[in-house]
Structure 1
């Protein structure tokens, strides 16, 4: 029984970690997308006509340069995934893992190219797209897109996990340990590359089937995606669904400037980069669907929490709520607000899930064309307002005001009707210490919080693995019974998620990386080696 529990725990840990690794290339992509959006918006003929001062050679050269740099992440995204997955999942020798990801990805495509040449299946340059082939880092290979990077990255991770500390016979000891990982990677991925052309049609059939199901849902496709993402968020698995829609055939396929592009975000960036008209079918799964909820709905939730708090406590929670609103409104990081009510009232979170899905559906039905990833004010300005009225950016304001009213009145009614203990409504003897609400944010206070959190986690001896994503500590613990949930919340945790007997998530907020570093230092100072 214990073995089964451990196996299930390892499964949770793996899929959570996989979702987290997606955020490294996606974060870069979001920033590069902003550069691409700024460059494309200020070089368009319509913008130049309205702002004649932009029609200067030096200004246009600078803007084209910005646009070129912005397109970098889109062009090399599969390679970024191939490196980021082993880097993020590996607990030790992370640099070797990332280096091996690069080696594995290149060798895999070299091997695929060899197979295509030897079997006389290498397509002529004029018909690459029709043959499902393309150029990858100068190598003619199968057009695998991001999925190819993910496959290579996962294989490299498992090889790294198995061989990073291998001991070889004395004569070959130089090649042992971490040095063996890129070696076995090159050997294994060369063989995998010979097999992939035989099985790749089955992969594409599965992905295309998922895409057809979502696309076939018509107006409900964006709803299912938006609601599904929020449903998976408490478990930390939403990044996997998002990556599938953004970067694979599941998010649609289009021909842009003669090249086949798959994935909603990939299509959007390709159209933005080429100057082609933006298609509403791609943006239906992107930023525009988040904006009613992220820019208006969740700030309304924060206002409802503030207005229903005890008057004497409002000053205490103001900093927490303001930081949460800024996070969701500017960057699209929603957990600091969502976890204020997720555990108190799951039904309210269910309403939030439905409203988020409806936001995606309504914006798609209205024909908005605002892309990118975050759903905050930056995306609204860069990919909506600056691109011109054809994006229908003004609809965000109209729909957003409706969402603000719905969220505010629903949450205010539920909090008061059912006496939910949202921040500021707790009994005086159980009021939590709000992380970030204290004016003293010096090192002593940070260390003090880390000490208290580490104690509430059962001490360093109870922690097998410590890591974090954007807002949460992700831990593997030895004994879940040692976790003091009330103490965690007292000292700054917004929520505690026990996924199984060993996997634990502690929602901290935007400062989670700093908290994780402080806890890690405390553990190391006490002689405990941490992994993560």
Structure 2
């Protein structure tokens, strides 16, 4: 039974870690998207007509340069995933893992090219796209997109785990240990590259099936995506769903400037870079759907929590709520507010899931066309207002006002009706813990002390088998869950604690989580 539990925990650990590794290339993509958005918006004929001073050769060259740099991550995204996945999942020798990811990805495509050449299936240049082939780093190969990078990255990670400490006979000892990882990667990925063309139609059938399911749902498709993402968020698995829709055929396929592009975000960036019309079917799964909830709904939740708090406690929780509002409104990081009510009132979180899904559906139905990833005010300004009125950015404000009212009155009513213990409404014995939590979050200078207290509450370094973090939460594998002191974790800055199984644990800290994790690493060393 214990062995079965461990195997289940390893599965949770792997999928949590995989979702976390997606954030490294996606974070870069989000920033590069902003550059691409700025460059494209200020070089469009409409903007130049309204702002004639932009019609200067030097200014336009600079803006085109910004746009070109912004397109980098979109062009090489599969390679970024192939490197980021083994880098993020590996616990030791991370540099070797990343290097092996690069080696594996290139050799996989070289082998695919060899197979296509030897079987006389290599398409001519003028029909390459129609036959599902493209140029990858100068190699004609299958058009696998991000999924190719993910496959390579996962295989390389398992090879790294298995062979990073391998011992070879003395005559070959030089090639042992971590040096053996890129060597075995080259061998295995060359074989994988031969196998992939034989089984690739099966993968495309599955992905296309998911895409057909979503597109077949019509306006309900964005609802399913938006609600599903929020539903998976407490478990840290939402990144996997998001990546599938953003970067694979599940998010749609379009032809842009003669090239076939798959994935909602890929389509949006390609159209933005090309200067053509933006597809509403692509942006239906992007920033616009988040905006009613992220920019208006969750700030309304914060206001409801503030208004329903005991008058003497409002000053104590004001800083916490303001920092949460800024995070969701500007950057689209929602956990600091969501975890204030997720554990106190799961039913309210269910309402939040439904309203988020409805936000996606309504934005699609009324024809809003605002892309990118975050759903905050930066995306609203750069990809909405600056792109012109065809994005219908003004409708976001109208829907947002409705969402603000819905969230505020629903949450205020529920908190008062059911006497929910949201921040500022705790019993006397709980208030000191809440106050300590707010103080520890408000003071960046106490990160080291906070890390020490959190480590102690987690049962000490000996109880931690694995420690990592994503944007807002610590992700841990612990030896004994019974040693976890949840009240002490919350007293020292944890917004919430998620116990996934007997060994996998998540501690929600907020946007300062990386600093806390670094301090904990130092203490554990």
- TM-score bracket, shorter-length normalisation: over 0.9
CA distance in 2, matches of 1:447, 1:436: 16
Q: Are positions 1:135 and 2:135 aligned together?
A: yes
CA distance in 2, matches of 1:19, 1:98: 17
Quote the residue 1:510 is aligned against: 511
Counterparts of 1:297-446 in structure 2, within 5 Å, are 297-431=297-431, 432-433=434-435, 435=437, 437=439, 441=443, 443=445, 445-446=446-447
Instruction: Give per-residue Cα distances to partners, 1:403-448, cap 9 Å, x unaligned.
Output: 00000000011111111111111122212245464697364x2222
User: CA shift at 1:60, angstroms?
Assistant: 0.1
Distance 1:281-1:440 versus aligned 2 partners, 3 A rule: closer
Quote the residue 2:230 is aligned against: 230
Quote the residue 1:469 is aligned against: 470
Instruction: Give per-residue Cα distances to partners, 1:143-200, cap 9 Å, x unaligned.
Output: 0000000000010001001001111111101000100000000110001101111000
Q: TM-score, normalised by structure 2?
A: 0.99
User: CA shift at 1:341, angstroms?
Assistant: 0.3
Instruction: Give per-residue Cα distances to partners, 1:119-161, cap 9 Å, x unaligned.
Output: 1111110000111100000000000000000000010001001
Distance 1:388-1:375 versus aligned 2 partners, 3 A rule: same
Provide the secondary structure at the position in 1 that maps to 2:340.
coil
Quote the residue 1:528 is aligned against: none
Aligned residues of 1:433 and 1:491 also touching (Cα < 8 A): no
Provide the secondary structure at the position in 1 that maps to 2:300.
helix
CA distance in 1, matches of 2:285, 2:39: 23
User: CA shift at 1:450, angstroms?
Assistant: 1.5
Aligned residues of 1:78 and 1:150 also touching (Cα < 8 A): yes
Aligned residues of 1:317 and 1:434 also touching (Cα < 8 A): no
User: CA shift at 1:269, angstroms?
Assistant: 0.2
Quote the residue 2:498 is aligned against: 497
Quote the residue 1:178 is aligned against: 178
Quote the residue 1:47 is aligned against: 47
Provide the secondary structure at the position in 1 that maps to 2:26.
helix
User: CA shift at 1:449, angstroms?
Assistant: 1.4
CA distance in 2, matches of 1:414, 1:434: 26
CA distance in 1, matches of 2:182, 2:6: 29
Aligned residues of 2:83 and 2:153 also touching (Cα < 8 A): yes
CA distance in 1, matches of 2:215, 2:440: 48
Aligned residues of 1:320 and 1:435 also touching (Cα < 8 A): no
Provide the secondary structure at the position in 2 that maps to 1:333.
coil
CA distance in 2, matches of 1:138, 1:116: 15
Distance 1:109-1:442 versus aligned 2 partners, 3 A rule: closer
Q: Are positions 1:34 and 2:19 aligned together?
A: no
CA distance in 2, matches of 1:313, 1:96: 51
CA distance in 2, matches of 1:450, 1:37: 39
Quote the residue 1:485 is aligned against: 486
Quote the residue 2:120 is aligned against: 120
Aligned residues of 1:108 and 1:190 also touching (Cα < 8 A): yes
CA distance in 1, matches of 2:369, 2:50: 21
CA distance in 2, matches of 1:458, 1:79: 39
User: CA shift at 1:490, angstroms?
Assistant: 1.1
Provide the secondary structure at the position in 1 that maps to 2:502.
coil
CA distance in 2, matches of 1:171, 1:152: 31
Quote the residue 1:530 is aligned against: none
Name stretches of at least 5 consecutive residues in structure 2 with no aligned partner. Answer: none
CA distance in 2, matches of 1:64, 1:235: 41
Number of residue-to-residue matches in the alignment: 523
Distance 1:438-1:20 versus aligned 2 partners, 3 A rule: closer
Name stretches of at least 5 consecutive residues in structure 1 with no aligned partner. Answer: 525-532
CA distance in 2, matches of 1:356, 1:227: 6
Distance 1:189-1:349 versus aligned 2 partners, 3 A rule: same
Aligned residues of 1:330 and 1:378 also touching (Cα < 8 A): yes
CA distance in 1, matches of 2:313, 2:300: 19
Aligned residues of 1:107 and 1:190 also touching (Cα < 8 A): yes
Give the alignment's Cα RMSD to 1 decimal: 1.0
Quote the residue 2:450 is aligned against: 449
Aligned residues of 1:471 and 1:511 also touching (Cα < 8 A): yes
Q: Are positions 1:24 and 2:24 aligned together?
A: yes
Aligned residues of 2:440 and 2:450 also touching (Cα < 8 A): no
Instruction: Give per-residue Cα distances to partners, 1:351-378, cap 9 Å, x unaligned.
Output: 0000000000000000010000000000
